[in-house]
A and B are shown apart, each in its own frame.
Chain A
Amino acid sequence: MNHELSVRDLRFRYRRSAQELFDGLNHTFRPGVVTALTGESGRGKSTLLYVLGLLLTPTAGAVLVDGERASELPDRRRSSLRATRFGFVFQDSELDPARTIVDSVIEPGLYGGGRRALLRARVEELLERFGLGERADHRPGQISGGQAQRVALARALVGSPGIILADEPTGNLDPVNAANVLDALDDAAAEGRVVVIATHDPVVVGRAGEVLRL
């Protein structure tokens, strides 16, 4: 599970923007450590997260996953890496309202080539761990925001990825639910994962093992 994620001489510019971001950033995100990406609005916190997640291609430099220049791989390989080595947590959970909780959690495992039947046991284990065992067959509209974000965490962990990328995961939660989510992310890091959180929340920054200020 111990994957290494790093960036080398990283620069990024949106197609219609004059502003270049990251200024040749070099950084290694270590397994077992929660890293908080922070900075003023417009400095590129979320953008860096999506660049790390291989969804945006750097203008210069590279993203390295286990030493491989992953940002330069063809789209098919990058998709495969996202499905197998990365877990994503979005600010508003992004659950499909038409799917049950179980189906939502299984989704990235299917994209990674897994079989539904084999993934089912892992999903049930994760839902139990996050206290959602009895909600497995509910739909997102039938659970609270905090529960939805825990479902999103379970979804991020279903493929046993080594890297978790979270974009303002506590942005829409009350303090209690936010603390639960952060505890779960700490646990994910404690299991040897790279955990990167884009945030402007001082509580999250205060709990992070490492802070990368942009």
Chain B
Amino acid sequence: MRVGELAREVCASAIAARVSSVLALLVSAATCLAALLTVGQQAAAEQRLAQEFARPAARTLTLTDDNNSSLLSSAAVDTLRSLDHAERVVALGTPRDASNGALGEGATRVSLIVVSGDVDGGITLAAGRMPSPGAAEVLVSATAQTKLGLAVPSGVVETTDHRQWSVVGRFVPLTPFEQLEGQIVAIDPSPADANREVRIVADSVASVSGTQAAALAILAPNPGDLAVQSAVAAAATSASPTAQLTAFGRSLLLLILGAGAFFIAVVVLADVLIHRRDLGRRRTLGITRADLVTLVALRTTLPSALGAALAAGAGLAVAAARSLPIPPEFAFSVAALATITAAVAAVPPALLAAWRDPVAVMRTP
């Protein structure tokens, strides 16, 4: 049979067998919708969890020199920046008090911190310009600007050691450096004083542990020289719920598709048994077994594909209405999977139809 004629026959046959076509459409749509609204939620939860663990805060390693042992020098910071999995390394000096130089004694004090390393990864410029490296210039946060009584991010601040700093702009802290909000920052690529704290943001939650081990091996041969705060424990535990959710979602999807396949197979089997004389006539008149299997399988697949497509659209609409973050590509993948499942489920009854003895079928009233 020619492919074009077979395709036309498939369409005509699907329309003629209305009951089984509508049932196949409904089963496929139900399968697709159930998968979307259950596995889709699982996938969304999994995605949310992965995003939570992928946030910079979960990937941050903080080394603090509480003993003033000068282990966090600018040279050490440069070494840490060269670590393979260090996305950014920002060093913070010891905070000191500063006040508006124009107001003199009694003005509100705000802490000033010298920042070095990957400064772009710690703050971003909101107004003015960046301080010149090594110059006595600073940036203020919006909160600090208010506390200092500056109408614009410009002026002079004076530290307790009577050193004066020019305010040249305003910054906004980036995650996970929100603690800098409310402070004044000076940028010095090579501060003379050793840093008090270094924050390393690893490129993934999985590499936090390795990065911590590498950093400590470089900086502090003796345990206890540096205080360490990190999300290593979170990284270790993150793998477990994510993997469990993935496995559960996969099992649920297989279960739903399996149930869908079973019902499709039952519908097609019933259709084949009810229309046995039609199929027997076709065999007698010369249709090949391969063409008959294709005909039966595709006349089920056609309404199933339609049902899956409608369900995918409906599922996306429901997800949008309920604010479920189900991505369209996931919906289309599930629809494709439901259609393929229907096609595969239709094959065994189609084979039965093709291998039944047409004479026995034709001679049985």
Are A and B a genuine interacting pair, yes or no? yes
Chain A residues within CB distance 8 Å of chain B: 46-47, 50, 53, 55-56, 75-76, 79-84, 86, 88, 90, 94, 96, 98-99, 103, 107-108, 110-116, 155
Contact B284 A55 (CB under 8 A): yes
CB pairs A–B below 8 angstroms (13 shown): A55-B359, A56-B359, A86-B286, A94-B277, A96-B16, A98-B16, A99-B16, A108-B286, A110-B5, A111-B282, A111-B286, A111-B287, A116-B8
**Residues B259-297 near A (CB distance < 8 A):** 277-278, 281-291
Whether B255 is near chain A, meaning CB under 8 Å from some CB there, is no
Q: Is the interface of A mostly helix, strand, loop or mixed?
A: helix
Minimum C-beta distance from B19 to chain A (A)? 12
Question: Does residue B136 face the partner (Cβ distance < 8 Å to A)?
Answer: no
Q: Do A75 and B288 form a contact, CB below 8 Å, given A98-B16, A113-B1, A116-B8? A: yes
- Which of B2, B281, B283, B284 is the most central at the interface, judged by chain A CB atoms within 10 Å of its CB? B284
B363 touching A88, Cβ below 8 Å? no
Instruction: Say yes or no: A76 contacts B290, CB within 8 Å.
Output: yes
B286 to A, closest residue via Cβ = A83
Take A110-B1, A115-B2 as given contacts and tell me if A88 and B284 are in contact as well, using a CB distance cutoff of 8 Å.
Answer: yes
B358 contacts the other chain (CB 8 A): yes
User: Could you tell me if A79 and B281 are in contact, using CB atoms closer than 8 angstroms?
Assistant: no
Report which residue of B12, B285, B286, B362 has the largest number of chain A beta carbons within 10 angstroms of its beta carbon: B286
Which of A50, A55, A76 has a CB less than 8 Å from the CB of B289?
Answer: A76
Given A110-B5, A111-B1, A116-B5, residue A50 in contact with residue B359 (CB < 8 A): yes
Q: Is the CB of B284 within 8 A of A82?
A: yes
* Contact across chains for A75 and B1 when beta carbons are under 8 A apart: no
Q: Tell me the interface secondary structure of chain B in the complex.
A: helix
**How far, in angstroms, from A191 to B16 measured CA to CA in the complex?**
36
Q: A81–B285 Cα gap in the complex (Å)?
A: 10
Output the least CB separation between B231 and chain A (Å).
65
Answer whether A88 and B358 are a contact pair too, CB < 8 Å, given A76-B290, A98-B16, A116-B8.
no
Decide if B288 touches A84 in the complex (CB within 8 Å).
no
Q: Does B9 make an interface contact (CB < 8 A)? A: yes
Chain A residues with Cβ under 8 A from B282's Cβ?
A: 107, 111
Q: Which of A84, A96, A112, A116 has the most CB of B within 10 A?
A: A96
Assembly CA distance A86 to B284 (angstroms): 10
* Bound: A88/B289 CA distance, A: 18
A-chain residues with CB within 8 Å of residue B281 when the two chains form the complex: 90, 94, 96
If A110-B5, A115-B2 touch, whether A75 touches B285 (CB-CB below 8 Å) is no
Using known A-B contacts A76-B290, A96-B278, determine if residue A108 contacts B285 with beta carbons closer than 8 Å.
yes
Nearest chain A residue, comparing its CB with the CB of B284 = A88
